[in-house]
Amino acid sequence: MAVVNVNSGEGIESALRRFKRKVMSEEIIKDAKKHAFFMPPGQKAKLKSALARKRNKRKNRPSGMRPR
């Protein structure tokens, strides 16, 4: 859980900025999105393998070619 203490004399904008930075570094939003809905184990495995195929396809592409 991200906690930010507001220092005396500090504006709310700077405290909010520090809070946003802390939330991004702890990946709280990403984790919340991941747990927002249930995904069956079979579907999760299919998604994982599809992402791996996509990553390997991109990795094995010749370096001189760029997608348009």
The pLDDT tens digits of the residues spanning 4-55 come to 899 899 999 999 999 999 999 999 888 888 889 898 999 999 999 999 999 9
Query: pLDDT band at 67, cuts 50/70/90?
Result: low
Classify each residue of 9-37 as buried b or exposed e, where b means 16 or more C-beta atoms within 10 Å of its C-beta: eeeeeeeeebeeeeeeeeeeeeeeeeeee
Give the model's pLDDT for residue 68. Answer: 65
Give the model's pLDDT for residue 48. Answer: 95
Give the model's pLDDT for residue 65. Answer: 62
